[in-house]
Structure 1
Amino acid sequence: MTAHEIKYKLFHRIGAGGYGEVFLGSMRGAKAISRRVAIKRLCYARSEAGDAQLFAEEAQLLARLEHPNIVSILDYYIDENGYPSLVMEYIDGCNLADALTRGACPPSVAVYIAVEMLRALSYLHQMPS
Structure 2
Amino acid sequence: MPSTGSSSRDARLTTPAHAVGDTSLDAAALVSLARQRGLTETDLDELVYDALNAGASRAVNGGAQPELSSFDAFNAEHDHADAAASRTNNQGLEAQIEALATEYGIAAGGDLLRDRPLRRNPDLRGSHGGDF
Structure with the greater relative contact order (CA < 8 A, sep ≥ 6): 1 or 2? Answer: 2
TM over 0.5, shorter chain = no
More strand by share: 1
How does the TM-score come out when normalised to structure 1? 0.25
More helix by share: 2
How does the TM-score come out when normalised to structure 2? 0.24
Larger of the two Rg values belongs to structure? 2
